[in-house]
Amino acid sequence: MIQLLVVDDERIVADSLADLLPWDELGIDQVYRVYSGLEALRLMNTHPIDIVITDIRMPELSGLELIAKIRETNSRTKCIIHSGYADFEYAKQAMSSQVTEFVIKPASDEDIINAVMRVKAQLHEELQVQFSQQKIFNALKEQRPFIRSLLLNDLIKGKKITHSELESKLELTDLPFRMDDPFALIVIRLEEGFVGFDQASLSLFEYAILNITDETLREYFDVLAAKDVYDYLVILVKVNQHKGGTYEGSLKDAGQHSLLLEQMALKLQENVRTFLRGKISLIVSSWGAFPRDVPYLYQECITTIRRTVGNDRDIFLTLDDDSLSTQVKSLRSLYDPPTLMQLFDMGRKEQTMMKMETIIKELEEQWADSQEHLLEVFLHFGAAFTYAAHKNGKLLENLIGTEYEPLVARKPFLSIRQLKDWTFKVTDLLYEDLNRDWVDAKSISIMQIQQFVTSHLSEDVTLQAIADHVHLHPVYLSKIFKARTGENLSEYIIRLKMEQSAYLLKETDDRIYEICSKVGYQNPPYFTKIFKKYFGVTPQEFREASME
């Protein structure tokens, strides 16, 4: 997959190169464009760019400086200078060893295409040499611990990984974990004896602790280890059926697994004291099914460290004790984006019904005996129905008739089945009314605008781009959106971006600059300014408050 980046502070030049050439026909899978060297560096921190086409004269960071920065971290990326004749000889002399191609402005499409094809051919030749069978084996062997760590970090973050993708990664990294294998987590916090060192020294200590962990546990357990965003060491373990020794025949239930793991974890804590002369606190989770329960058990461990361990040192805790485990939680699917209100905004009945099915399924599987969680879902659904009716200029009571009674009777449903039947009846009634109103052309335009914005939150959505999508003049589009929704289009876009940012801050461990990129902001300080203006606190303060 070849990815190309166009860098030019003249927007029309960058846009023309990115949009008007037949890149897909040339085997270029993805084309990005930015308008400054600094933006290019930020994008390259998160995207594996293969080819860069850059101007020389740009503010803040010139094309030559950009190429020098690229060369510091990535010698494989091919750089093409696309600049005026006056800069040509200077660039050639200054960067002859680092620039693959020179194209003089104004260049024809053919010149640009030929330059890109030449460097693409070079990339292909280099890959053939680099990825010979022996080199692949050696590289994989060297990078296997890093790849394993990345996989565990993806799992503890709850990243959605398909079954086939997970099986492929497990096979690639030679990990003996399979779907639904019973596992437990150990979360390690480094304490006395490991504080005050520089990052390089601390990394050596972490490496030593992971080696001690492997030596201590591997007789009975298979181990997958990583360092999380809080600088804790996270160890995922499962009983090793091939090396279980005398324990293998007797390990038949979670209780016996837990006893053995507790003994080994205590031994690990003692070994770190003995060999590294430092102290660690350990939290051992209960047992779950791989990989489904990884993010939930991880969050239980992290919550226990914050609430139970706190500032104490050299602590050992297991979460088999219900008093230590955070048993009561909100339904995750209830608050995952897109929300029910957003789906009603977009008029997507099928997706609305699927969202409700997912919520009710989670309620049935995890909280079937909890009347309070049943009430939580009922109130959430009621709020979404009321929102949908009011946004359409109607009273909910007038739209759903007798089905309005449960909302005013203050008598929650006694069973999930009753709630489900009522929910789908009300949803049908609401969409019948919404569909009648959406026949109006203006309402259809509003729906298309909302759908476009929602599906492009990770981009810098412009008024002109939206206007082009719905085939309306930008001024007229803004007027009808305000008239129909009571909200300025720009305010609507910011609101959705901020809501998505808040969700990512609360529910993921993504870095703030990563979240900034995911909601379409290229400048983290500007993102922080907008976020603080909207919520009254910075993103970091918001995340810390949500963890309390």
Cα–Cα distance measured from residue 512 to residue 314, given in angstroms and rounded to the nearest whole number:
31
Is it the case that residue 6 has pLDDT exceeding 80? Answer: yes
- Give the range among 71-80, 238-247, 442-451, 536-545 with minimum mean pLDDT: 238-247
Mean pLDDT, residues 62-84 taken together? 88
Is it the case that residue 334 has pLDDT exceeding 80? Answer: yes
Cα–Cα distance measured from residue 500 to residue 495, given in angstroms and rounded to the nearest whole number:
9
More reliable by pLDDT, 46 or 307? 46
Predicted local distance difference test score (pLDDT) of residue 191: 93
Question: Residue 198, Cα to own-chain centre: how many angstroms?
Answer: 29
Cα–Cα distance measured from residue 453 to residue 348, given in angstroms and rounded to the nearest whole number:
15
Q: pTM of the full predicted structure?
A: 0.42
Q: What share of the chain in percent tops pLDDT 70? A: 89
Is it the case that residue 122 has pLDDT exceeding 80? Answer: yes
Fill in the amino acid letter for 240: N
Q: What is the residue-averaged pLDDT of the chain?
A: 85
Cβ proximity of 129 and 79 under 8 Å: no
- Give the range among 48-52, 103-107, 354-358 with minimum mean pLDDT: 103-107
Strands 316-318 and 280-284: parallel
Look at the block and give the residue holding tokens 């969050």. 299
| Greatest Cα pair distance in the chain | 82
What CATH topology corresponds to 3-130?
Rossmann fold (3.40.50)
In sequence order, the 6+-apart residues with CB closer than 8 A to the CB of 335 are: 503, 507
Cα–Cα distance measured from residue 235 to residue 216, given in angstroms and rounded to the nearest whole number:
12
Q: Indicate the CATH number for domain 141-318.
A: 3.30.70.270
pLDDT tens column, 531-546: 998 999 999 999 988 8
What is the chain's percent helix, strand, coil content, to nearest 5?
60, 10, 30
Half-sphere exposure of 247 (CA within 13 A, CB side): 21
Predicted local distance difference test score (pLDDT) of residue 134: 57
In sequence order, the 6+-apart residues with CB closer than 8 A to the CB of 86 are: none
In sequence order, the 6+-apart residues with CB closer than 8 A to the CB of 194 are: 202, 205, 276, 278, 280
Domain ranges of the chain: 3-130, 141-318, 332-489
Classified as helix, coil or strand, 521 is coil
